[in-house]
Structure formats: C-alpha cells, structure tokens
Amino acid sequence: MLERIQKVFEETMNVDASEVVPTANLAEDLDIDSLAAVELALELENEFGIEISDDELANLKTVQDVMDCIASK
C-alpha cells in the first residue's frame, strides 16, 4: 500500500517518493496545504476505489493517517 501511496504523492504533489514515509507530516514535511490535500484525496480515491469524507480528510496529518484511512475502507 505504501508504494501506491508514494506513487500518488509523487505524481500529484511532485514529492519525492523517498520522503513519503509513515511518520512524515503532510503539512510540515511534505508541504501539502489544504487545497493540495483535497487534490491528493481525489487522487487517492481514484487509485484505491474509496471515498474520503471531508471529516476524514481534516484528520489526515501524517502518511500513516492516510494509510490507516485507506485500510479502514
């Protein structure tokens, strides 16, 4: 799953895959602001065939949070 998430980050956010680790903070480490987070969520939804609610999106702070959200679907 992490490799697929890294691919989405790399293609959508121009973030080097090596930086996309479970402990990485989306805002502080990967420079993903709220607008970019919406775009990222859409791409993750497409990649994994899931839906991420606005509430879930607001609670995604780290790459691990993203992984947990996807795994819960």
pLDDT digits (tens, 9 = 90+) for 2-53: 999 999 999 999 999 999 999 999 999 999 999 999 999 999 999 999 999 9
DSSP state of 62: B
Q: What is the pTM of this model?
A: 0.95
Dihedrals phi, psi of 72, to nearest 5 degrees: -80, -5
CATH of the domain at 51: 1.10.1200.10
Give the structural domain span for 30: 2-71
Given the structure tokens 């993203």, which residue do they identify? 66
Please give the tally of structural domains in the chain. 1
Catalytic positions: 33
